[in-house]
Amino acid sequence: MTEQIIREVPAPNPLAGPEESVLYIPALGEPILRVNNIQGNILGGFNKDYQTLLFLEIENSNAFKEWLKTQIKFIATASEVIAFNRIFKSARERRGREGTVKATWVNIAFSFQGLKKLTQDANNFTDEAFKAGLAARAAELNDPVDSEGKPTGWVVGGPDNGKVDVVLIVASDEHTDLLEEVSRILKSIVIFTDEKGHAKSSGAKITFIEEGANLPPPLTGHEHFGNLDGISQPGIRGRVSDNPKDLLTPRQDPKNPNQGKPGQDVLWPGEFVFGYEGQNADAQQLENSRGAITSAGPKWADDGSYLVFRRLRQDVFKFHKFLNDTAANLNADPRKVSAKLIGRWPSGAPTVRTPEADSPNLGNDDNANNDFEFNGDDPAVNGFFKNDVVPPSKDATGLRCPFIAHTRKTYPRNDKTPGGEGPGPKEIDRSEVTTQTHRLLRRGIPYGPVSASTPDEPLQDPNFVDRGLHFLAYQTSIVDQFEFVTKFWSNNPDFSTEAATDHEFEGQLTLGHDPIIGQNKGQNGDRTRKFFIHLEDNNSQPLTKELTAPEDWVIPTGGGYFFAPSISALKNVLT
C-alpha cells in the first residue's frame, strides 16, 4: 500500500478550541444526510490507491435486472465510506504512519440510455446534457473534430466503440484486493447465481476496462505533469447523524462555521446530491445562500448524483518542453513558469502565498494551502491552527496568480465574475455567491505509467505511452457545473475580463485559455492557445508576457455522463 494523501476527508473531530460550542449552533439547521442511502464515492470519496473502471452495455434488460439484484449488497454506502475514512485518518494521525486498515469499495452509475433500458420514466430527468450524453456535447466543450481528441477516436464512450450503459467503480487500498474484486465482478457478468440458486446470464457485456492508480513516491498524490492534485475541494453542509457534532465537513475554526478547513467554503448538499437544499444563486452573501431543494426530475432520483467521466490523456513531454522552452526565453525557472500556468507549485503551495519559490511545508499543510482569496487581503492563519503562515496581500491584478492560471480559471473564488452585481464589496460578495453554484466534487485518479520527463529535462518516450487522468466529478447539474466551468471559464479566453479590467490591465482585455485543460476550437482545426502571464521586470514593475501553445497537451480520449442512483432506487426502481 503506497502512502495515501487523503484531502478534504471528514476528520474524526474538528480542531477544537474554547469556543467550540459556537460551532454547532448553526449546524443544527443543516440537514441530516441519508448516508445509508447515498453511494459512498459521492460524499465520502473513496480515496484509494488503486481503482478500476468497468463499462458495460446492457443487452437484455430483464436479465440485467436479475444480475443487479445480486450486486446491490456490494455497493458501498456513504455511511460505510465516511466511517472508514475517519478510522483510517485517526489511526494514521495517532501512529504517525500508514496503518493496516484497508477496504475495497464498489459503486455504480448509469448513462441516460442505460436508465431507459431499466425504467420507463427515465425521460423525466431534466438535465439536457445528461440526456444527450458527453459525446454529443463534445463540440460545445471545444473538443477536436478532426484530430486525436475527436469523439469518433475515443477509446470509450464514443459513437464507434460500443455502447456504455453502466460504469462500475472498483477501488481498493491493495492492488491484490482490487484484482480479486474485479475478477469477482467479471465472473458474475459471464454467469451468476440468482436468488434461487440458478445459474444465469447477466444480460450485459464488458465494453471497456481500465485501471487507475495513485502514482508512486515521490509523486504520490500528484498528477502526471508533477503537481499535487485534489487540494481545493468544497466542504459540504450536513450531519451524518442527529448528533449536532457529527458533521460531514468539520468546521475547524469555532469562529467560522461557514468553512471547514481554512479557505474551504461549506456548501449546501443539494449542489452534489439530489433531495437536499442547494446554493441560492440570488443571495447577496455566501453566508446566507441557502437555496431550494434540488430535483433531478423523478422523485426516486433523490440521494443520487450526476457523475461526469472524462478520460484525459496527458502528453507530459510536450508540456515539459513548453515549460523548458518558455523558461529559457524568459530567463526563468521552468517550475516557476509551471506555477504561473497552474497557480500552485508542484508541492501544492499556492502562488498567492509564495509567489517566488515552492514551499513544500505550505503545500502539505491542509490548514494553510487553500486559505486564500484573490480579491482582498487575507488575514494571517490563526495561531489556533498547526502552523502560522504569512498573510498574502490581495492579488486583484493577477501578478501572483495570473487570471489564466488553472486554479483561478476553474475556481475564481471571490474574483469579479459576469454573475456578480452591484458596486464595490457587494459585487465581490455576489460574484462569490454565483461562483459557488458551479463547484464539483472531484474523484479523479491517474492512469498509466509515470514518465521519466521533468521540466528541467523533457524526455519523450521512445514508443507511444498512454497516460493521463480519469477525471470523475459529482454534481446535481451537468449543465451548470461541469459544462459551465468548461465552456465559460476554462475555454473562454475573455474570462475573467470582468476582474482584470478593474485594474488597468495594461489595456489587455483577452486573457487566454486555461493552459492545462482549456481548449481552443479555431478555424480549420487550429488548436493554438494564447496565455497572458505577469512577471516583474528588473525594476520590480509588472510586465505582461504573451505565451503561445500550438498544440494541446491534455487530450480527451473518452468519457460519459452518468447518474449514480441511491441504494433504494437500485432496489425498488432499477431491478
How confident is the model over 175-229, as pLDDT tens digits? 999 999 999 999 999 987 777 788 889 999 999 999 999 999 999 999 999 999 9
Residue 524, pLDDT score = 78
Hey, what's the cell of 315?
A: 502528453
Sign of the CA dihedral running 501, 507, 510, 516:
negative
Residue 2, pLDDT score = 47
Tracing cell 493496516 back to the chain, one arrives at: 100
Mean of the per-residue pLDDT values of the chain: 88
341, 572 in Cβ contact below 8 A? no
Element of type H or E holding 63: helix 61-71
- What value, to the nearest 5°, has the Cα angle with vertex 160 and ends 154 and 165? 85
Give the E-state strand segments of 64-142 in sequence order: 104-110
3-state helix, strand, coil in the chain (%, to 5): 30, 20, 50
396, 436 in Cβ contact below 8 A? no
Question: What confidence tens digit (pLDDT) does each residue in 141-186 have?
Answer: 999 888 889 999 999 999 988 899 999 999 999 999 999 999 999 9
556 three-class SS: strand
Residue 6, pLDDT score = 42
Bridge partners (DSSP) of residue 52 are: 170, 211
- What value, to the nearest 5°, has the Cα angle with vertex 555 and ends 553 and 558? 160
Residue 539, pLDDT score = 65
Residue 10, pLDDT score = 40
Q: Please tell me the pTM assigned to this model.
A: 0.93
Q: How far apart are CA 194 and CA 216, in angstroms?
A: 40
Residues of the chain with pLDDT under 50: 2-18, 382-389, 421-424, 503-507, 509
153 Cβ contact list (under 8 Å, min separation 6): 557
Q: How far apart are CA 59 and CA 165, in angstroms?
A: 10
513, 490 in Cβ contact below 8 A? yes
Element of type H or E holding 55: strand 50-58
